[in-house]
């Protein structure tokens, strides 16, 4: 079931002091570190997730990251991307962040996980072992402005064209994830990117 929540708009829902889960290359937990230090320098490998939500028309929900973000502010990215906190599993983390960022609840399906590192100049880096999910959200998002500057829905083919012509407007993890979803996971993606029967 997908529906909107009554999460208050503008609520501050993340902090550099929150503890994230450090992992090794095989996703085994190795410790904990505050979010700020996880993103210093070249980054410290930690567990993360990315959610791709589609509406009933088969369009992907994109978010533009808030201007106040330390890394990749105002870049476009997938529907929701964040981290499980210390002691939190992925089901809890994805549910929490979808509510906090978008005011939505949605059932999500795990697809794959991968490791990447991306540098954002001297501001820091992402170094994540990221779990990628697909899901459907039929409700209207209510973006939290402390996290998100704007949202929009886009068809898969249109997104491919935009990435080809204006790829610099998108976050590096989103581009990596979308390429794999369109490639080796195309069959599963197609179930979400196709319009639903009315």
Catalytic site positions: 81, 128
CA pair distance 42, 161, nearest whole angstrom: 31
**What residues contact 123, with CB distance under 8 A and at least 6 apart?**
70, 71
What secondary structure does DSSP assign to 45-103, as a single string? -EEEEEEEEE-TTSPEEEEEEPTT-SSSTT-EE-SEEE-PBTT--HHHHHHHHIIIIIS
């Amino acid at each position: 079931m997908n529906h909107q929540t009554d999460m208050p708009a503008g609520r501050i829902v993340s902090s550099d002091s929150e503890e994230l889960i450090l992992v090794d290359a095989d996703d085994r937990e190795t410790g904990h570190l505050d979010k700020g230090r996880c993103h210093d320098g070249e980054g410290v490998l930690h567990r993360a997730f990315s959610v791709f939500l589609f509406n009933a028309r088969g369009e992907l929900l994109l978010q533009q990251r808030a201007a106040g973000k330390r890394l990749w502010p105002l870049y476009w990215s997938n529907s929701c991307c964040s981290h499980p906190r210390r002691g939190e599993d992925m089901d809890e983390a994805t549910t929490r962040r979808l509510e906090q960022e978008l005011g939505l609840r949605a059932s999500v399906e795990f697809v794959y996980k991968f490791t990447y590192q991306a540098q954002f100049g001297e501001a820091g880096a992402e170094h994540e072992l990221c779990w990628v999910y697909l899901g459907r959200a039929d409700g209207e998002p209510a973006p939290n402005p402390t996290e998100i500057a704007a949202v929009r829905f886009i068809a898969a083919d249109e997104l491919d064209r935009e990435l080809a012509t204006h790829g610099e407007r998108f976050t590096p993890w989103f581009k990596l994830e979308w390429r794999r979803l369109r490639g080796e996971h195309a069959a599963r993606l197609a179930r979400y990117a196709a319009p639903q029967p009315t």
